[in-house]
Amino acid sequence: MIHIRTTLVPHAARRRRLAAAAALAAAALVLAACGKAGTPATGGTSSSAPSFKPATQNSSAPLTVWVDSTRLPGVQAYQKAHPGVKLNIVTYNGDANGSNYLQTKVELYDRAGSGWPDVVFTENVNDITWATEPGIDFAAPLNGYVPAATLAGFATNALSPCTFGGKVYCLRNDLAQDVLWYNKKLMNSFGYQVPATWQQYQALGEKVAAQHPGYIIGTVGDAWAPEVYFWASQCPANQVTAPSTLTVNTASPDCTRMASLLDTLIKDKAVSTDTVFSAGFAKNTASKVLMLVGPSWYGQTLFNAVFKTPAGQIAAAPPLAWAGDSATYTGDVGGGAWIVSAHSANLKAATALATWMTTSNAYQATAGTYPAYKAAAAAWLANQARTGYFADNVAPAFTEAAGMVWPGWSATKFSQEAIWAATVVPALTQGKTITSMLGAWQTAIRDQAQALGYTVK
Amino acid sequence: MSGRKARRARGTLRARHGYAFVAAYLLLLLAFGVLPAGYAIYLALTNSAGQLVGLGNFTAVAGDFRFGPAFAHIGVYLAIWLVVLVAGVVGLALALHGRMRRTTAVMRFLYYLPGALAGVASVLVWLFMLDPTVSPVGWLLNWLGYTSFAQVIVPGHLPVVLAVIAFWTGAGGWIVIMYGALNNIPDDLLEAARIDGAGPLAIARRIQIPMLRKWIAYMVILAFATGSQLFVEPQLVGEASLGAVSNSWSPNQLAYLYAFQANDFHSAAALSVDLLVLGLVCAAVIVTRSGLFNLE
């Protein structure tokens, strides 16, 4: 905040002279304009590979690692297993919920010319698109440092948000593929079958509303609702079709079918417009969750840790299909990644840490989220079965869903979550329908994309 | 002759002391006020290649789809907050000074207390206050028809909600200052008015408020500057609601997005300069109208 104090001399002649001088200065500025305004320091949004020149390397240079509190124990485990590596561990919010913390800091370091962390964990896939922008060039290409066999060990498409111009710029920590979570105990006691299609899901929702009012089968008040429902419905709301070109068409039948399905269920109160992480939801609704379409991390993070649903009740089914569609797809809510800084003076050690964090069973098998690295995922699933929390083995649903993520939803430079949360959620809270908000949603995506240099079609 | 010289010497000595005291402040003002503002103006007039672009950044920013709504939000917020602030602070200070002399020390302390919390902490307090499921006044929110936090902070409510937060955190300090200003009004003046038959209302309207005018003007200038530069409150409410409040609600948030989402410090600086000009114009109008710096 700037406190302003001005000393104006209330003298008419002097004021007039000042005004004339100010007008002259303004005119001079307008005339002197020779450059182009509004050009960001970056070259806009381009999918071409950024330039990379490693800094002078020093194999004993200490590593600064930025990590969120969830992944912190992993880095501490790495330090324990590798006492020879000098680590400076910094915890931050992991850029969750569309926070710009990493971007803010890195761009300040860019201006200062020093201070960058060597390895960074981010929960925000959009960060990777940003980190590879020409002009930012924060992410180092990892192809020369991580063996090709290791890169091939990641799940299908897991590294596609990391890949630009044929080079890999990050290692995915986890996948957040959407599955159908359900409370097996409740479903059995109500005598319901787990649906296999969205049509059956809607029919069951209407039945629940009539027979067991108060119970819910989904939520749309979360920022990631578009990634749960509209991504799975193959709605073209977020499709990079050419470099710097975004296709947005929320009027497509693939969007409207999901909107009207949800509107029906919202009207019946079988789908809640609240967010699963609100204090009210945990208190009033958590025990009445019959089904919840959502990411793989819902199991431990939401049902176990937040809702405190007792062990032996929660199970996961494969993603819902659309009856009539030839293939079944699902969405993806986040899925973090490790980025190695292009400015690092010790790329070898930095890459080794990122590789260990993403691929080693020692850490990934016990992590809270589903590992993106296939061998680690197998160990993780075995471990989940050992915890005994789930009513059934979640492995079949998780493994199937991991290969079903629709590739038509791109990682853009901006967060779709922020747009949905600020545009659609408040309208739903006030009783409007999703169908009536599709136009406003489209406009909000278009405006945001254009402001960041995308051509929107 | 020598007496006058001595007086002049004393005068210069006192002036020197004055300069010494002001110098410390001047250094901070230069380092954290004038230089950054100058740098912002330089950034606002150039592009990333260092070329002069005139008012290009200003027109580009003004054409942004978020520019109009952000200033409209702040406009409504300021209109509510400044009125509530002036009426509330002056009213409470007068009440404290007049009728409630016995309890006044306790009351002043209570009013001041919320202001002693850091800005961020007090916003967090309000995040709990406004959530019907955890709020101590949840019954009141339920009675008003709100059952979830999302319903309380729908976009239409935000200017009022933020004004309430700002009043709660900011008014206490000003009440204490106004109370001090009221103490400066000579007692014999009030006594004379009372003898002439003026009641408390007439005294407030004809003597106290006119004599507080400069203090009120000073408060409005600072409140306008802080209010138009609102950032922490909408940012935190936005984070707490998982994004239900737009991250470009206020112009300052928009500037932040320009700098750190679009990596465009020049447009961010142009927005900041807009806010600086707005604050300066407001200050200039109030200073000239209220005679804030008149010495007589």
Would you state the structure tokens that stand for residue A214, as one six-digit string?
Answer: 């108060």
Are the beta carbons of B239 and A29 separated by less than 8 Å? no
- What residues of B are in contact with residue A221 (Cβ under 8 Å)? 150
- What residues of A are in contact with residue B279 (Cβ under 8 Å)? 2, 4
Are the beta carbons of A97 and B242 separated by less than 8 Å? yes
Is the Cβ of B287 closer than 8 Å to some Cβ of chain A? yes
Are the beta carbons of B243 and A7 separated by less than 8 Å? no
The C-alpha angle with vertex A354 and arms to A351 and A355, in degrees rounded to 5, equals 85
Mutate to test the interface with A, among B22, B42, B45, B47 (most CBs of A within 10 A): B47
Q: Which of A2, A6, A29 sits opposite B287 (nearest CB)?
A: A6
pLDDT at A415: 84
| Reported ipTM | 0.76
Cβ under 8 Å to A: B residues 144-183? 147-151, 154-155
CB A440 within 8 A of CB A31: no
Q: Which of B150, B238, B264 sits opposite A429 (nearest CB)?
A: B150
**What residue type is assigned to position B287 of the chain?**
V
CB B55 within 8 A of CB B271: no
pLDDT at A9: 38
Distance of CA A388 to the CA centre of its chain: 29
Is the Cβ of A35 closer than 8 Å to some Cβ of chain B? yes
Long-range contacts of A165-168 (CB under 8 A, 24+ apart): A165/A47, A165/A48, A165/A49, A166/A49, A167/A49, A167/A141, A167/A142, A167/A143, A168/A141, A168/A142, A168/A143
Is the Cβ of A27 closer than 8 Å to some Cβ of chain B? no
- Length in residues, chain B: 296
Are the beta carbons of B150 and A104 separated by less than 8 Å? no
Mutate to test the interface with A, among B39, B53, B258 (most CBs of A within 10 A): B53
Sign of the alpha-carbon torsion through B151, B153, B154, B158: positive
A335: left (phi over 0), alpha (psi -120 to 50) or beta: left
Is the Cβ of A33 closer than 8 Å to some Cβ of chain B? yes
Q: How far is CA B30 from CA A2, A180, B138, B141, in A?
A: 12, 60, 47, 47
Q: Which of B48, B52, B284 sits opposite A32 (nearest CB)?
A: B52
3-state SS assignment for residue A175: strand
pLDDT at A278: 85
Is the Cβ of B51 closer than 8 Å to some Cβ of chain A? yes
pLDDT at A214: 94
Is the Cβ of A113 closer than 8 Å to some Cβ of chain B? no
Q: What is the C-alpha separation between B2 and B130, in angstroms, rounded? A: 71
Are the beta carbons of B260 and A429 separated by less than 8 Å? no
Are the beta carbons of A35 and B239 separated by less than 8 Å? no
Q: Which of B48, B147, B222 sits opposite A41 (nearest CB)?
A: B48
Q: What is the DSSP letter of B204?
A: I
Are the beta carbons of A30 and B54 separated by less than 8 Å? yes
CA torsion B61-A223-A441-A256 (nearest 10°) is 160
Q: What superfamily does domain B70-290 belong to in CATH?
A: MetI-like (1.10.3720.10)
CB B182 within 8 A of CB B97: yes
In chain B, what are the domain boundaries?
A: 70-290
Mutate to test the interface with B, among A6, A285, A432 (most CBs of B within 10 A): A6
Are the beta carbons of B33 and A3 separated by less than 8 Å? yes
In this prediction the pTM is 0.80
pLDDT at B4: 65
Q: What is the pLDDT of residues B158-167, one digit of tens each?
A: 999 999 988 8
pLDDT at B121: 83
Domains of chain A, CATH where assigned: 63-175+334-372 (3.40.190.10), 178-332+401-456 (3.40.190.10)
CA atoms within 13 A on the CB side of B68: 3
Cα radius of gyration (chain A)? 25
Min distance B60 CA to chain A CA atoms (Å): 6
Q: Nearest CA to B44 among B224, B230, B276?
A: B276
Residues 6+ apart with CB under 8 A from A430: B154
CA atoms within 13 A on the CB side of A446: 12
Q: What is the C-alpha separation between A334 and A314, in angstroms, rounded? A: 22
- Report the DSSP pairing between strands A163-164 and A291-295: unpaired
Q: Nearest CA to A335 among A127, A145, A136, A163?
A: A127
- Length in residues, chain A: 457
Is the Cβ of B204 closer than 8 Å to some Cβ of chain A? no
- What residues of B are in contact with residue A100 (Cβ under 8 Å)? 257, 260-261
Phi, psi of A55 (to 5 degrees): -75, 170
- What residues of B are in contact with residue A98 (Cβ under 8 Å)? 243, 247
pLDDT at A89: 95
Cβ under 8 Å to B: A residues 392-451? 413-414, 417-418, 420-422, 425-426, 429-430, 447, 451
Are the beta carbons of B226 and A30 separated by less than 8 Å? no
Are the beta carbons of B65 and A451 separated by less than 8 Å? yes
Q: What is the pLDDT of residues A22-73, one digit of tens each?
A: 555 544 444 444 456 654 444 334 444 557 888 889 989 999 999 999 899 9
Residue with tokens 């947005």: A248
Are the beta carbons of A38 and B242 separated by less than 8 Å? no
pLDDT at B169: 84
Q: Which of B48, B260, B266 sits opposite A103 (nearest CB)?
A: B260
Is the Cβ of A148 closer than 8 Å to some Cβ of chain B? no
Output B114 or B6, whichever has higher pLDDT. Answer: B114
Sign of the alpha-carbon torsion through B272, B273, B279, B282: negative
The C-alpha angle with vertex B207 and arms to B206 and B213, in degrees rounded to 5, equals 95
- What residues of B are in contact with residue A103 (Cβ under 8 Å)? 260-261, 263
**What residue type is assigned to position B200 of the chain?**
P
Cβ under 8 Å to A: B residues 26-45? 33, 36-37, 45
3-state SS assignment for residue A272: strand
Q: What is the pLDDT of residues B172-190, one digit of tens each?
A: 889 889 988 998 888 889 8
Q: Which helix (H) or strand (E) holds B150?
A: helix B149-152
Q: What is the pLDDT of residues B14-64, one digit of tens each?
A: 788 888 888 989 999 999 999 999 999 999 999 877 888 889 999 999 999
Interface A:B, Cβ pairs < 8 A = 175
- In B, minimum Cα distance to A453 occurs at B262
Is the Cβ of B295 closer than 8 Å to some Cβ of chain A? no
- What residues of B are in contact with residue A418 (Cβ under 8 Å)? 243, 247
CB B178 within 8 A of CB B89: yes
Output B100 or A86, whichever has higher pLDDT. Answer: A86
What are the residue ranges in chain A where pLDDT is below 50?
1-12, 14, 18, 26-34, 39-48
CA atoms within 13 A on the CB side of B46: 11
- Report the DSSP pairing between strands A63-67 and A87-91: parallel
